[in-house]
Structure 1
């Protein structure tokens, strides 16, 4: 289910229940910390990686930071904090994550971020938990799919035709972004099972229309 143009979309003020005003303020301050490329990537992943109800790309594409806050609070008020952290990870700005944690947890978060900066490991990566496949790995893979991305999505990744229709509409004429959007749909659907190893095991099947070297990006360790 998408939020469409017919839905009322407040433009001048932050939309929020009284208990959500602090979150709205924090979220808008966070978005101000993003440069334009990061902000556009944030909106891109908000469209493709957030759970239902999805926000229509026609509303997000040209939305300002304040309008983006409005849309997030309307559609995802119950999980705004969790969703924001996921999006920050996707755009490689987890350094801003402490803005959405209770004060008692901030010292631990800052300590973890400092350790990562000194080369002692990535921030917020629990020990022993397999890392999700990254956006850079998905983009590298998407660039190898060509026009076969629809077949791969439906036949091998278990996506529905209507999901791919929406992805194609959002990125009409750009095969790489269409394939990338399809892979993001798979990642969202798989949740914590969306690891590089899992994706590699699926796409290395004999009948998948991909060259073996296209999957090399899934075998390369991500830099922390």
Structure 2
């Protein structure tokens, strides 16, 4: 699916994007399950789906076939350093799978293929796709925007040494990015575990909010209820 930035922002503005992923070893970790997860999210009102992760290109391709909403595609290679769509080859593979947007680590850390974030942007733009930069700080977001990112996401806040380690979402980063990049679409993502937090992100200037675990992981949801009931005993 090819969309202009204006078309994509018009679709997601003030709305919910759902991340449909499951890590290795999780009971939901297979592509058909991810597809059903994405279909259920779209039926519930998600205006776009973020997917790929350890399921990589097969997940992206299958979800693109199964839903009528735009897909933000990514791959994950490991859990340390730059692992979200870390190479130009990975970005091209996500595009070939049908993603409208390539989500990639937008920090300035070294990439495994020796490229930089601007190379990811060039590869995607050459094929008419948009690029979402996952960052952890306002400075990284500003640099990613200068490198050509179409959208900036707060995904990596709390997962790098330079960002605050906290249990909840980084609303301060949303506000800082909005102030620094007033004309750039800002996507709030990372530990949005309640509808109120999503609403707060929009109030602080986010264009849209990505929610994953709190919607798509029944193991995580069950654990919260189990902890609450155990606490009463």
Q: Considering fraction of residues, name the structure with more strand.
A: 2
Q: Considering fraction of residues, name the structure with more helix.
A: 1
* Structure having the higher Rg: 1
Please give the TM-score of this superposition, normalised by the length of structure 1: 0.28
